[in-house]
Structure formats: C-alpha cells, structure tokens
Amino acid sequence: MRRVLVTRPEPGASRTAQRLEDQGFEPILLPLSETVALPADADGMAINAVAVAVTSANAVRHAPKEIIAALAGLPCHAVGRRTAEAARAAGFVSVGEGPGDAEALADALAGDYAGQTIVYLCGRVRFSGFEQRLQPAGVRVRAVETYDTVALDYSDEAVLARLSGRPVEAVLLFSAKAATAVQALAGRPALSELFNKTCFFALSGRIAAALETVASEQLRVAPEPSEEALLELLRTSP
C-alpha cells in the first residue's frame, strides 16, 4: 500500500486522508501549518462594494458572523467548488463557482466589475496574483484578512514517530508554504533518508517552484489546481 504524506492544515487534512484511504492509499497526517482566526471589523465594509471574492474556504470559515451578515446579500464569487460550498454554508445567498484558479477568477471579475469595488475575504498569508490581476481594470479590492496561517514545528523524533521510521513514497502539497516546510524537513540529517525516493505532488506550478532542491524526476504538478486533479495524478503516476 502506497504511503502518502498529507501536509495541509485541518480540517482539510483529515478530509484528504479519508479520500486517500477510500482509494487504497495509506495516508500519513503531518499538517505543517494551522489556520487561526483574525479579528475583523464589519463597520463600513460593504459601503460601495458590489461583490465579494473568496479564493480560500478558510476565509469564510474564519470570518466573524457580523462580516458574513454585512456581505451576505452581495454576489459572492468563489474560486472553486469547495470554496463555493463553504460560502453557501456560511450564509451567502448568491454564490458563483469559479474555475479553480485565483488568477482566472480575477480575469473574470475584471470584465464584470471594472472601475468598481469588491470585498476580498482572504488570509494574511496569500498569493498576491489575484489582487495584482485586477489592478489594470481599475477594480478596487477591499482586502479583509479573516485568518492567518501559522507554521507548525516538529522535532526529528516526532516526525520519525509519525512516519514509523519508514520512507515516504509520496507527498501532497497544497501550498508554497507547505512545500518550503517539507523541503526543510527532508533536508534534516536525521530525516533525509526517508525522503530520498519521495515523489512530490504539487497542486500548481507556483507551489512546485518552491521546491528548489527537489529533482525534476521526483516532482509532479496537477494539470489544474484542484484536489480532484491532484489525486488523479497520484492515482495514475507509477
């Protein structure tokens, strides 16, 4: 049975682990970060705003109820299916499901909301491409940071125990931050042998680029930035 290291934060880590188990893999949970809520003030947030954008389900999961209440009547544009589901569960009335890619979502919004203001529910740690992509169209982005991503540190002993001292065959990477953290783990003298033959499966090319010391033959990139595409790549890779 193929052992697959899952590095994403909870609750996504357990959900992914269950999907892997259902497909005959042996998942190993090692979240390398956790998400924590940030205080955010709803006062004046919706003034002049014509829509809401969300590129991470965590942004709506961690948003205070007052913020959701202030914005729920606006059209909500979610980056993909999981984020759209989280937005509906949080209370947004009209939710559009995007293509799964933040930059593609930005391109779509640039055409619809040129010269207008949108509220962007997001994390403190995020890819800047979404906001940058909207600037040429004059879309004013009111970024509201509802959560932060905090790194989790593990001792060599803790990692060895989690891995049962056995080599890792595959690692799933959902963020550049996780890729950097895994690379650091694999570089530790006490752990390096466990990652000698590991295949790294990245959700996107940007995430893969963070693996500066990983040989190209050990790297796979999903054809589109979705968990479904990443797991299909894992299933079909030798």
Give the torsion through C-alpha atoms of 98, 12, 31, 169, to 10 deg: -80
Instruction: Parse the chain into domains and list their residue ranges.
Output: 3-32+152-236, 36-150
Q: What tokens does 31 get?
A: 């979240």
Q: What's the topology of domain 36-150?
A: Rossmann fold (3.40.50)
pLDDT digits (tens, 9 = 90+) for 123-138: 998 888 899 999 999 9
Rounded to 5 degrees, what angle do the CA atoms 19, 194, 204 make? 50
pLDDT at 7: 95
Give the chain's residues under pLDDT 70.
Answer: none
pLDDT at 73: 96
Amino acid found at 41: D
Cα(204)–Cα(224) distance, rounded to whole angstroms?
7
Give the torsion through C-alpha atoms of 87, 126, 209, 32, to 10 deg: -80
Do domains 3-32+152-236 and 36-150 share one topology? The answer is yes
pLDDT at 215: 86
pLDDT at 100: 84
Q: What tokens does 204 get?
A: 């996107």
What's the CATH number for 3-32+152-236?
A: 3.40.50.10090
Instruction: Look up the pTM and report it.
Output: 0.83
